[in-house]
A = this chain, B = another copy of it.
Amino acid sequence: MNTEEVAKKLVELCQKGAYEEAVKSLYGKDIVSVEPREMGGMPAEMTGLDAVSKKTQWWIQNHEIHSSKATGPFVARDTFVVRFDIDVTDKSSGQRMQASEVGIYKVEDGKVVREEFLPMV
């Protein structure tokens, strides 16, 4: 798949909440994933499909998702951007929050090799 095909598939899967399937089917084994900050005891930057799959599972297990919207993709060359608008409750704190962020994705050989998330400020 080219960048646009990978990007559209990722938006489609995220839009229906299939985050784990997105990682498994679209990410390269040496994926680098960069969050704005550490969370759940995990460092902000992690490498490898196992680590990123575990982070995704942790996130799903620790949040009640009230709504989630993926907008895009925006695509050029090896790069695409997706905007996420979520409304979730952190199960441990009980705190509900609405947040918007974008992910910047790099594609090589038909796989996502880097993702970086930036919160709206």
Check: A46 CB closer than 8 A to any chain B CB: no
Check: A74 CB closer than 8 A to any chain B CB: yes
* Contact call A118/B79, Cβ cutoff below 8 A: yes
Main secondary structure of the interface of A (DSSP, over half): strand
Residue numbers in B under 8 Å from A34 (CB-CB)? 76
Copies assembled:
2
Which residue of the partner chain, among B4, B79, B120, contacts A74 with CB atoms under 8 Å? Answer: B120
CA distance A72 to B104 in the complex (A): 14
Greatest chain B CB density within 10 A among A4, A34, A72, A121 is at: A121
Residue numbers in B under 8 Å from A79 (CB-CB)? 104, 116, 118
* Contact call A121/B81, Cβ cutoff below 8 A: no
Which residue of the partner chain, among B4, B72, B83, B119, contacts A75 with CB atoms under 8 Å? Answer: B119
* Contact call B72/A120, Cβ cutoff below 8 A: yes
Residue numbers in B under 8 Å from A118 (CB-CB)? 74-76, 79-81
Instruction: Report A39 CB to chain B, min CB distance, Å.
Output: 13
